[in-house]
Amino acid sequence: MKRLFVTGIVALALGIFMSTSSLDSSQKVEDELLCNTFSICAFDPATGETGVAVTTRLPEVGRLCPWAKAGVGAISTQALVVVKYGPQGLELLEKGMPPDKVIEELLKDDTSREQRQIGVIDAKGNTATFTGKNCLDHASHRAGKNYTVQGNLLAGKSVIDATADSFEASHGADLELADRIIAAMEAGQKAGGDKRTGQKQSAALIVADPRRRHMDGSNISINIQVAEHAEPVGELRRQYDTIRQRLGYRTFRLIEGRDVAQLKTWLHGLGYFRKDTPADEVAAYVHGAPGRIFDLETAEAVDQFRKAQKLPVSSDGLGHARGVVDDDFIRFLRTAHIENLKKVNAERK
């Protein structure tokens, strides 16, 4: 019996219970999972995007709570989760039902409705939320222009307010909807987030964009699933910034110094950098300030040497960066430099 119970829980956590069938008022509400969390559903009128982000102290929340469809809206179903409320709610929105009526329809025959929490936004920015009376404290919601925030088992109302305030404050900042949503979740997390500690954590972000069709046939332009991570919202940010190459995803600076001067000198000796310039002029150049800067001219010389050594270069068309000076490059360069010096010295004798 114990083994059967554990197996059932694992199946539940894996989301095997997900259903996308049409809403049937006589259908028994089954396949519930307690998912205490906070989330934001949002709409960008400038782009038509709808999105939803969520985080919780439970693995794989992205397979449970967040739902979005381009030109339709976004939904988060949480607290005592009924996963099928997500696709069913989107189906009702697509038929033209307003968000408040969608929630009413989903919960009309639900005997456990007071343990449910649902946030809904349509592709016009209309919102509706529901927080059952028996959701674990702190549980509440807040809706504003083009967004709705909802959460339960939170550190306090400050989590809801911080999330909502952040989204409102970013209005007009010329940021992508996904960026604004993640920033809002970061603010909520900083305000305390889910009050539990020491448990597995996850987060997810889904954005549907009617302007862009993905290769999978959907219009889901962003689908980031942090299945488990010590800092799931921070990982959402890292992945989004890295994928989009947004400012902050890496640390960079002007590369300059004696090692750059040495690099230019060696590449010149091998005929890859300013090969027609006399050695004494190159020596004078690299000892000056400009000679210590890694510039485009140097990067091109690096790539010429890399190509000659059959090392990956940007022109391969495989996504390699330009002018990479890594361990393999330095090993080949050092060997070629030493061999070249031996050849030069031998010719002088």
Closest CA to 118 of 63, 76, 81: 76
pLDDT score of 59: 95
Q: Pull the structure tokens for residue 184.
A: 């809002």
Cα separation, 74 vs 58, whole angstroms:
21
Kindly state the DSSP code that residue 194 receives in the 8-state scheme. B
Q: What is the pTM of this model?
A: 0.78
- From residue 9, how far is each of 5, 18, 65, 222, 302 by CA, in Å? 6, 14, 17, 29, 56
Instruction: For the chain, 349 residues long, give each residue's pLDDT as a single digit of tens.
Output: 433 333 333 333 333 333 333 334 334 445 677 888 999 999 999 999 999 999 999 999 999 999 999 999 999 999 999 999 999 999 999 999 999 999 999 999 999 999 999 999 999 999 999 999 999 999 999 999 999 999 999 999 999 999 999 999 999 888 999 999 999 999 999 999 999 988 999 999 999 999 989 989 899 999 999 999 999 999 999 999 999 999 888 888 889 999 999 999 999 999 999 999 999 999 999 999 999 999 999 999 999 999 999 999 999 989 899 999 999 999 999 999 989 988 888 888 7
pLDDT score of 262: 96
74, 42 in Cβ contact below 8 A? yes
- The H or E element that residue 142 is part of is strand 140-144
107, 131 in Cβ contact below 8 A? no
CATH top-level class for 30-244? Answer: alpha beta
pLDDT score of 53: 98
List the chain domain ranges. 30-244, 258-348
